[in-house]
Structure 1
Amino acid sequence: MNYHGAMKILIVDDEPAISETLAYALRADGFTADSCTLGSAALAMLQDGAHDLVVLDVGLPDLNGFDVCRQLRRFSDIPVLFLTARTDEVDRIVGLELGGDDYVAKPFSPREVVSRIRAILRRLRPEAKTGISDGRPEKSARFAVDRDGLRIAYHGQWLNLTRYEYLLLAQLLERPGRILNRAQIMESVWQDSGESFERTVDTHIKTLRGKLRAIDATADCIQTHRGLGYSVTAD
C-alpha cells in the first residue's frame, strides 16, 4: 500500500453519475481516482497493485461485486469498500465475510464515502494504529507481533493470517487477559459494532484457533467468556 503522495482509488460502478461524483470528491480530498464499469476490467486493472483501495459496486453488469471480491482475494489484499442498493443484513454480512472492509448503501453522500475510505486506510496503516515504525516485533512468551509487517509469529512461526485475523489477534494481544466483547472487536477491527455482525467475529475467532492449533495442537490461548467476549493468554 502506498502511503507517500496521493493515494490511488479505483471506483468500479456502471453508473457514470456515481463514478464521476465520487471521483470528484476523492480528488478534492487529495486522492487520485480511476474508474471502470465492469468487474472483469477492474480485476485486470488491479493486477499490478498500483491502487490503494477499491470502491466496488455490488450490482455490476458482468460480474456480481461479491464474485469480483472473491477473485480479487486470490491475488490481492487491497481494501474493498462495497457500494450497493441492497439493504438486507445478509448481503452486508456476505460482504464482510468475503474480505470487504466496509459497506455503504445507496443513495449516499460522497463526503461520507471519502470519510469511510480515510478511516479504512488509517486502520490498516501500521504507524497510524500503533506508533511503531522500526519493524521490530513485540514479543511475548508465545507471540511476536510485527506491526510494520502486519504479521504475527506463534512459537517462532509466522502465522498465515488474513487482514482481519491479524487485526483481531493483534487487538487481543495489546492487553493479554483483557476481555473484549464482540462490539469492541467490531469497532476496532471492522469499525461496526452492530450486534448483527456477531457471527463475523465468531467465525474469525474459529479460524484463528485452527491456525494456532496447526502449530500447537494443545493450544487454547484464545479464551471464550460466555456472555462477555474473548481474551488471549500470551504467556
Structure 2
Amino acid sequence: MPRTILVVDDDPHIRQLLVFALGKAGLDTIEAGDGEEAVTLIGERIPDLVILDINMPRMDGLEVCRRVRATSGVPILFLSSRDDEIDRVLGIELGGDDYVVKPFSPREVVARTQAILRRAAAKAPDVQGCGGRIAHNCLTLDLEGWRALWDGQDVPLTVTEFTTLRTLASWPGKVFGRDAIIDRLHGPGFAVTDRTIDSHIRNLRAKFAAVGADTLIETRPGIGYALGSCERSGS
C-alpha cells in the first residue's frame, strides 16, 4: 500500500512542490498549513512520516514535535533555514529523525523520506537467531516489534534512535565512527553533520538514563561510539 506523508509548511508553494515530488515517487500526501492543523491531522490520520517546517506561525515545528512525541513515534523530517543550526539540533534532540536545509532540492527531500521509510520497514538481521532479538546484558532489542527494553522495561525510541542503537548492538565491541553510523542510517553520500549523530546519541543516553541505565553507549574520543557493557549500575 502507498505510504502517506503529511507535509506541514505555512508556504503553500513549498507544500505544492513537495506534494508533486512525493506523488511522482508513488507516495500519498496530506497537507497542513500550520502546526495546530498538523497536530490534529496526526491524531486523526496517523501518517507514515511527517515533513515538518520549523519556522511557522501559531505553533512552530519544534512545539509540534514535542506534542507528537508525547504520544507517537511517527518519523519526522524537519525543514529548516540555513541560519537555524540551533533549532535543527534541538529538533533532533526533541525526537526528529532527520532534517533538510532550505532552500532544498525536492529530490533530496524525497530521498531522505524514502530512507527513513525504509528504516521503519526494514527487518534487521537476526544476530543471535532468537526470533529477531538482540540481547546484551540488561539491553534487549525486539527487531521485528521495534521495541527497546532495559531490564524488561520499555524505552520508547524514534526510528532513527532505534536504528542507531541497533547498529551498535549488532556488533558489540566494534567502534563506529560517525560516518559509519550515518551510512547505516541513510546510505553513503548523505550530508549529515557530526552534531546530528551526537544529538541522537545524547537522546539515547538520556532516555535510558531515565530508567536507570548509564552503561548503554561508550564514547571513544576521536574515534566514535560503541555499545557499552549494558550492566546495571553498581554491577
Shift of 1:34: 0.9
Structure 1's 20 and 184: CA in aligned 2 closer, same or farther, altered over 3 A? Answer: same
For 1:225, give the aligned amino acid. R
Query: Could you say what secondary structure the match of 1:9 adopts?
Result: strand
Query: Could you say what secondary structure the match of 2:50 adopts?
Result: strand
Q: 1:159 aligns with which of 154, 158, 161?
A: 154
Mapped pair 1:138 → 2:137: no
Structure 1's 198 and 42: CA in aligned 2 closer, same or farther, altered over 3 A? Answer: closer
Counterparts in 2 of 1:1-235, with a 5 A limit? 5-127=1-123, 129-130=124-125, 136-140=131-135, 142=137, 143-155=139-151, 157-163=152-158, 164-189=160-185, 193-197=192-196, 199-207=198-206, 210-211=209-210, 213-214=212-213, 220=215, 222-232=217-227, 233=229
Query: Given that residues 6 and 31 in structure 1 are in contact (C-alpha distance below 8 angstroms), is that contact kept between their aligned partners in structure 2?
Result: yes
Shift of 1:227: 2.7
Structure 1's 21 and 135: CA in aligned 2 closer, same or farther, altered over 3 A? Answer: farther
In the comparison of the two structures, how many residue pairs are matched? Answer: 224
Query: Given that residues 151 and 158 in structure 1 are in contact (C-alpha distance below 8 angstroms), is that contact kept between their aligned partners in structure 2?
Result: no
Structure 1's 11 and 193: CA in aligned 2 closer, same or farther, altered over 3 A? Answer: closer
Q: Structure 2: where are the runs of 5+ without partners?
A: none
Deviations 1:93-121 (A, max 9, x none): 11211111121122222122111100111
Query: Could you say what secondary structure the match of 1:78 adopts?
Result: coil
Q: Structure 1: where are the runs of 5+ without partners?
A: none
Structure 1's 199 and 29: CA in aligned 2 closer, same or farther, altered over 3 A? Answer: closer
Shift of 1:137: 3.7
Shift of 1:160: 1.2
Query: Could you say what secondary structure the match of 1:40 adopts?
Result: helix
CA distance in 2, matches of 1:19, 1:118: 18
Structure 1's 196 and 173: CA in aligned 2 closer, same or farther, altered over 3 A? Answer: closer
Shift of 1:189: 4.2
Structure 1's 97 and 24: CA in aligned 2 closer, same or farther, altered over 3 A? Answer: same
Deviations 1:144-191 (A, max 9, x none): 321111123444x14313224433322111011111233333443476
For 2:133, give the aligned amino acid. E
Structure 1's 224 and 161: CA in aligned 2 closer, same or farther, altered over 3 A? Answer: same
Shift of 1:234: 6.7
Query: Could you say what secondary structure the match of 2:212 adopts?
Result: helix
Which TM-score applies when normalising by structure 1? 0.81
Which TM-score applies when normalising by structure 2? 0.81
Equivalent pairs: percent with the same residue? Answer: 33
Query: Given that residues 119 and 163 in structure 2 are in contact (C-alpha distance below 8 angstroms), is that contact kept between their aligned partners in structure 1?
Result: no
Query: Could you say what secondary structure the match of 1:213 adopts?
Result: coil
Shift of 1:206: 3.0
CA distance in 2, matches of 1:204, 1:131: 25
